[in-house]
Amino acid sequence: MAEGSDIPRRLLIAVGGNAIQPAGMRGTAEEQVKIAASTARALLPILELDNELVITHGNGPAVGKVLMRQALAQPQVVPMSLDICVADTQGATAYILGQAFENALREAGNPRHVVGLVTQVEVDPDDPAFHRPSKPVGYFFSKEQADGLQKGMGWTMREDAGRGWRLVVPSPEPKHVCDVSLVEALMSRGTVVIAGGGGGVPVVRNARGVRHGVEAVIDKDLTSALMAKILNVDVMMILTAVSKVAINFGAPGQRDLDRVTLIEARRYASEGHFAEGSMGPKVSAAIRFMANGGRHAIIAHLNEAMAALRGEAGTHFLADDPTACASH
């Protein structure tokens, strides 16, 4: 994509869970509707484009709150399995976002439709992640609080990028996005499709094709990269709460990245510049997208989405051969 010129025909936008459910919010319905409306205003210039658009979203904060509610409600209320918690929050978030997007479009006089799909994503039942919980979800706690939860609830708690301690759960690799043909059919008709929320509902399938859910949370950025590959997306955008990817983050030599090639991104990742609980999965998803033939990946602040799409903001991941993106 020639930066600042052509707009991609087929686009996938991944909105981070912490961008649509920022730290400090209580999680009331009113708060969620208000933040969704703000998200819709930020994305409206892109929603109004003549494009084929799919939007994924994180739900780590929401899943964590559901788990906390279940912990507090025991033994009066039987807790749900983690896959159902993901489906629950995926559907609720898609409803709130979809309604906000359509409201913003109607206020702008645009008749475009938005639909949310509860999406199952297959994983390998033998994925080693099931034995090594690593995906942070939910609230941040102090070390003392984390120790108490680990002892009292049996939760696995881990320090998350210097921001506090969080519950971590298994995070297997996404292998197949179920019914992705429905996503493509809808987006090809001009409908904005919200799918793959929270990385998708984690399921496994036996030899007869029978599926069942598993106790896990799939990283939404990795599912987004897989979906973008399957859908032959031109550009994948990952929108979060920071403006750019940085190396040496938090150190005297911190430097924001404007443009980075696949080779450079891989080198920075191997050098440990991107924290696993923070920017790591986003950069990994961008690398995967580019390595699988993607033309252009962007990581940017939610409020700078359109500027980033025009090449005026964010961190842009480009092909190692600059001429490969010359016509895009």
Catalytic sites, residue numbers:
17-18, 135, 220, 282
CB neighbours of residue 112 within 10 Å: 17
> What stretch of H or E contains 204?
strand 201-205
3-state helix, strand, coil in the chain (%, to 5): 40, 20, 40
Rounded Cα distance, 160 and 312, in Å: 31
> Contact, 319 vs 325, CB < 8 A?
yes
Residue carrying the six token digits 């600059």: 322
Of 132, 23, 158, the C-alpha closest to 149 is 158
Of 46, 68, 174, 165, the C-alpha closest to 114 is 46
Cα angle for residues 286, 41, 304 (degrees, 5° grid): 40
Rounded Cα distance, 226 and 242, in Å: 23
Sign of CA dihedral 235, 241, 243, 244: negative
